[in-house]
C-alpha cells in the first residue's frame, strides 16, 4: 500500500493529485522551482522540496533531482502528472531503480509510445520523410516526436516554408521536452479530434472508458473538451474503442492513458497514444462517476480492475481558462491573479489562488472549469453561464472567447472541427465590452472621496475620468449633486465603492466593481484607469516594434542590423514565452532604424524591441 506520493509536477495537476491522495489518506510531497516557491501546489502539500532554478530544464525536467527529493522526503511512490517528465521512460526507470513505486505505465510501454514515429509504426503506419514532401502533398504538419500540448508543431502550406518550420519545431521541442526529433504527416484540414480514455491493470484487463471530443484547439492545444464525443455512429465508436484497446495491448500497458484520433469522413486516423493522464480527464470522470487518479494509484498497488467498466451518465464539458490574449495572437499574459471564483454547480480545477503571480516560465493555464448535466445542451449552457459570471480579476484572459465559443451555433449544434478558430477567431474576439462599465467604474471610484460627498451650492464643471476598455479610450463625466452622484442619460440608484446600480431606460442594472491599482473590473469587463494628463514622454516613434509579452529573445533574423531592408510581416525577432516560440514581425515595409535587443535577453511587455522606418513611395 502506498503511503506517501511525490508529484513530479506543478500547478493544477499537482493540486489535483494531492486532492485524491488526501481522500485516500496518502501523504503528499511537492517539488517546486524557485519561481514556484510560494505556488499553491507547494503550499497545499504535506511537504515540499526545492528544485534550484526557474527554467524547466533546471527544475521539473531534472529527473535525478526529483528522485533525490522523493527519497529525502520519505515518499514511496511518484506520480508524474502530465507534461514535463510524464512520458519519459528514463525517468520512470530511475524511479523504479530507486525502489519507488511508479504511478504510471511500464517504462517499455512509455518508450514504445512516447515517440509518435515509433507509435505510428507500431500501429502499422509510417510517417512521411521531410524530403518526400511535394507541392501535391501539401498541407503537412510538422510535429515533435516527443511530448504534446501543441509544442513543436507547425502547419506548412508552402513548400518553401518547410525548412523554417522544421527548424522552429525542433527548437521548440528541444526546449519543452529535451528531444528535438520531429516528423511530418499529412494535415487534415477539417477533421475532429476524438480520443479514447483507457485504463488497464497488470492482470490483463483493459477498459475503454468512452470518447472525448477535443476539436476546439488553438496552436494545436486543446481549449474546450467534452465527453462523450457527440454525433459518432455506434460503429465508429466501436472501432475507436477497439483501436484504443489494441494499442494498449500492443505495449502491455497498465494505468491510465489516452489514444488520440483524427476523425474525418466517418473514418478514424490514429494520431498518437499519450502514456499519462490527460488534462481533460475530468470530463470522463464526470460522466462515469469515477476518480481516475485513484484508479491509477490502485493499479500501481497491483490491484485488479473490478467487473465491467462503469456506464456513462449525461454529458460533461470542460473549458481551459488561460492568461492569454486571443485577439493578439494568443499572447501569454503575466501579473497578479487578484481573484478567481466561479459559481456553485461547476467543478474548478486550479493551481492558483487569489494573490498568486502568473509568471513567464510555465504554461499560462489558470484553471479548468467543468460542467456536468443530463444532456449536452444543458452542460454547455451551464458552463457558459458559469464562465460568464465568474470573477476573474488580474491579467487578460481568454474567458470571453470561451463564453462566445460555447454559445456559437457551430459548437452548440456539434458541427465543430479543428479549424474552428481559424474560421471564427475575429468574430469571437471582437470588442463587446459593456458601454456602462466605465461610468460604473468612475462612480465607484468617486464614492466617499469627499467627506461631504463633493456637492457644492454653486454649479460646477462635471468631473471627468478616462479609462481604456477593449483597446479604446473612454471618457466619463459625472457630477456631485445634493442627491448624490449623477450622470447624463441614466439615473444613479446606488453608488458604492464595490457596487453601482444604474437605471437605464427603466431597466435597473447592477455592476460589481473591484479595483487593483489602475486595473478595474466591472463585472466581466476589464478596464485600465488612465491618468488625467497623458505623459508626453510615452509617445513612441512610428514603426516601433514592442514586446507583446514577457519572454526571452531566442533568435534575431539573420543579417538584421541598422539599415537592413525589411518587409511588412517578415519575422524579425523570436521570443520564447511559457515554453512556446512567438515570431515578432516587421510592422511596415522599410529599413531597420534601430535594434534594441540581443539573443538571450529577457524582455517585458511593452518593451521597445526595434524601430522600422517605413518606406515612402515616390510620387
Span 78-115, pLDDT tens digits: 999 999 999 999 999 999 999 999 999 999 999 999 77
3-state helix/strand/coil string of 481-501: ECCEEEECCEEEEEECCCEEE
Count of other CB atoms within 10 angstroms of residue 311: 9
Residues whose CB is less than 8 angstroms from the CB of residue 199 and which lie 6 or more positions away in sequence, other chains included: 206, 207, 209, 255, 256, 257, 292, 295, 299, 305, 309
Give yes or no for residue 369 having a pLDDT over 60.
yes
Residue 555 is among the residues annotated as catalytic for this protein: no
Question: What per-residue confidence (pLDDT) applies to 334?
Answer: 92
Q: Which is more confidently placed, 27 or 601?
A: 27
586-608 pLDDT, tens digit each: 988 999 988 999 998 988 888 89
pLDDT, mean of residues 554-582: 86
Identified catalytic residue from 27, 212, 276, 399: 276
Q: Work out the average pLDDT over 540-552.
A: 82
CA separation for the pair 454, 216 (Å, rounded) = 52
From CA 56, how far away is CA 33, in angstroms rounded? 8
> H or E stretch including 162?
helix 162-177
> For residue 456, what pLDDT band results from cuts at 50, 70 and 90?
low
Nearest to 286 by CA among 233, 365, 345: 345
Flag whether pLDDT at 451 surpasses 60: no
pLDDT average, residue stretch 127-154: 82
Using one digit for the tens of pLDDT, what is the confidence trace for 471-518? 889 999 999 888 889 999 999 999 999 999 999 999 999 999 999 999
Neighbouring C-alpha atoms within 13 Å toward the C-beta of 334: 15
How many other C-beta atoms are found inside a 10 Å radius of the C-beta of residue 457? 6
Confidence of residue 121 (pLDDT cuts 50, 70, 90): confident
Whether the per-residue pLDDT at 122 is higher than 90: the answer is: no
pLDDT in tens, 260-286: 999 998 999 998 999 999 999 999 999
Strand 27-33 and strand 47-51: the pairing is parallel
When pLDDT is cut at 50, 70 and 90, the band that residue 230 belongs to is: very high
Please state, rounded to an integer, the average pLDDT across all residues of the chain: 92
Measured between its terminal Cα atoms, the distance across the chain in Å is 83
pLDDT value for 536:
55
Domains of the chain from N-terminus onward: 4-103 (3.40.50.20), 114-186 (3.30.1490.20), 192-422 (3.30.470.20), 437-529 (3.30.700.40), 540-614 (2.40.50.100)
Strands (E), 287-364: 315-322, 324-325, 331-332, 335-337, 339-341, 347-350, 356-358
C-alpha cell at 246: 489494441
Q: Of the ranges 352-366, 439-453, 576-590, which is most confident? A: 352-366
What is the rounded average pLDDT of the residues 11-39? 98
| Rounded Cα distance, 399 and 321, in Å | 6
Amino acid at each position: 500500500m502506498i503511503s506517501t506520493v511525490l508529484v513530479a509536477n506543478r500547478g493544477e495537476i499537482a493540486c489535483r493529485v494531492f486532492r485524491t491522495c488526501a481522500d485516500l489518506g496518502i501523504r503528499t510531497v511537492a517539488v517546486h522551482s524557485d519561481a514556484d516557491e510560494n505556488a499553491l501546489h507547494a503550499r497545499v502539500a504535506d511537504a515540499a522540496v526545492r528544485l534550484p532554478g526557474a527554467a524547466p530544464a533546471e527544475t521539473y525536467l531534472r529527473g535525478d533531482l526529483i528522485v533525490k527529493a522523493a527519497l529525502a522526503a520519505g515518499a514511496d511512490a511518484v506520480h508524474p502528472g502530465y507534461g514535463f517528465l510524464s512520458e519519459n521512460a528514463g525517468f520512470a526507470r530511475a524511479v523504479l531503480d530507486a525502489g519507488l513505486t511508479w504511478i504510471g505505465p511500464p517504462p517499455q510501454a512509455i518508450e514504445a509510445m512516447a515517440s509518435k514515429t515509433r507509435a505510428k509504426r507500431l500501429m502499422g503506419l509510417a510517417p512521411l520523410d521531410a524530403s518526400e514532401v511535394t507541392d501535391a502533398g501539401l498541407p503537412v504538419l510538422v510535429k515533435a516526436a516527443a511530448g504534446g500540448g501543441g509544442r513543436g508543431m507547425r502547419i506548412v502550406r508552402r513548400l518553401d516554408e518547410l525548412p523554417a518550420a522544421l527548424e522552429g519545431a525542433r527548437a521548440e521541442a528541444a526546449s519543452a521536452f529535451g528531444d528535438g526529433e520531429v516528423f511530418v504527416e499529412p494535415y487534415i484540414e477539417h477533421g475532429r479530434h476524438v480520443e479514447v480514455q483507457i485504463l488497464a491493470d497488470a492482470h490483463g484487463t483493459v477498459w475503454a472508458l468512452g470518447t472525448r471530443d477535443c476539436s476546439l484547439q488553438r496552436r494545436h492545444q486543446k481549449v474546450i473538451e467534452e465527453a462523450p464525443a457527440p454525433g459518432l455512429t455506434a460503429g465508429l465508436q466501436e472501432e475507436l474503442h477497439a483501436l484504443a484497446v489494441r494499442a494498449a495491448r500492443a505495449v502491455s500497458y497498465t494505468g491510465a492513458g489516452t489514444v488520440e484520433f483524427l476523425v474525418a469522413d466517418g473514418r478514424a486516423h490514429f494520431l498518437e497514444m499519450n502514456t499519462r493522464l490527460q488534462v481533460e480527464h475530468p470530463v470522463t470522470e464526470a460522466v462515469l462517476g469515477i476518480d481516475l487518479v485513484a484508479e491509477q494509484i490502485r493499479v500501481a498497488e497491483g490491484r485488479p480492475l473490478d467487473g465491467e467498466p462503469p456506464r456513462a451518465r449525461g454529458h460533461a464539458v470542460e473549458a481551459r481558462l488561460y492568461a492569454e490574449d486571443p485577439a493578439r495572437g494568443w499572447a501569454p499574459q503575466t501579473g497578479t491573479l487578484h481573484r478567481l471564483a466561479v459559481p456553485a454547480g461547476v467543478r474548478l480545477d486550479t493551481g492558483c489562488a487569489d494573490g498568486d503571480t502568473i509568471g513567464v516560465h510555465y504554461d499560462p493555464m489558470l484553471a479548468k472549469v467543468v460542467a456536468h448535466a443530463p444532456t449536452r445542451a444543458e452542460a454547455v449552457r451551464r458552463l457558459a453561464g458559469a464562465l460568464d459570471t465568474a470573477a476573474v480579476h488580474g491579467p487578460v484572459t481568454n474567458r470571453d472567447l470561451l463564453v462566445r465559443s460555447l454559445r456559437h451555433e457551430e459548437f452548440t449544434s456539434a458541427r465543430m472541427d479543428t479549424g474552428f478558430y481559424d474560421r471564427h477567431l475575429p468574430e469571437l474576439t471582437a470588442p463587446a465590452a459593456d458601454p456602462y462599465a466605465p461610468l460604473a467604474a468612475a462612480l465607484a471610484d468617486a464614492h466617499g472621496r469627499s467627506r461631504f460627498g463633493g456637492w457644492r451650492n454653486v454649479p460646477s464643471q462635471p468631473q471627468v475620468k478616462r479609462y481604456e476598455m477593449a483597446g479604446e479610450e473612454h471618457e466619463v463625466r459625472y457630477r456631485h449633486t445634493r442627491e448624490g452622484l449623477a450622470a447624463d442619460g441614466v439615473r444613479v440608484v446606488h453608488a458604492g465603492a464595490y457596487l453601482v446600480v444604474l437605471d437605464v431606460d427603466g431597466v435597473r442594472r447592477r455592476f460589481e466593481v473591484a479595483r487593483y491599482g489602475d486595473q478595474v473590473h466591472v463585472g466581466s469587463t476589464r478596464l485600465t484607469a488612465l491618468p488625467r494628463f497623458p505623459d508626453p514622454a510615452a509617445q513612441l516613434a512610428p514603426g516601433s516594434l514592442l514586446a507583446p509579452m514577457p519572454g526571452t529573445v531566442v533568435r534575431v533574423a539573420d543579417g538584421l542590423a541598422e539599415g537592413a531592408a525589411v518587409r511588412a510581416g517578415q519575422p524579425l525577432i523570436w521570443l520564447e514565452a511559457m515554453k512556446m516560440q512567438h515570431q515578432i514581425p516587421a510592422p511596415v515595409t522599410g529599413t531597420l532604424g534601430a535594434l534594441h535587443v540581443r539573443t538571450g535577453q529577457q524582455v517585458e511587455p511593452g518593451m521597445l524591441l526595434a524601430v522600422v522606418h517605413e518606406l515612402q513611395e515616390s510620387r
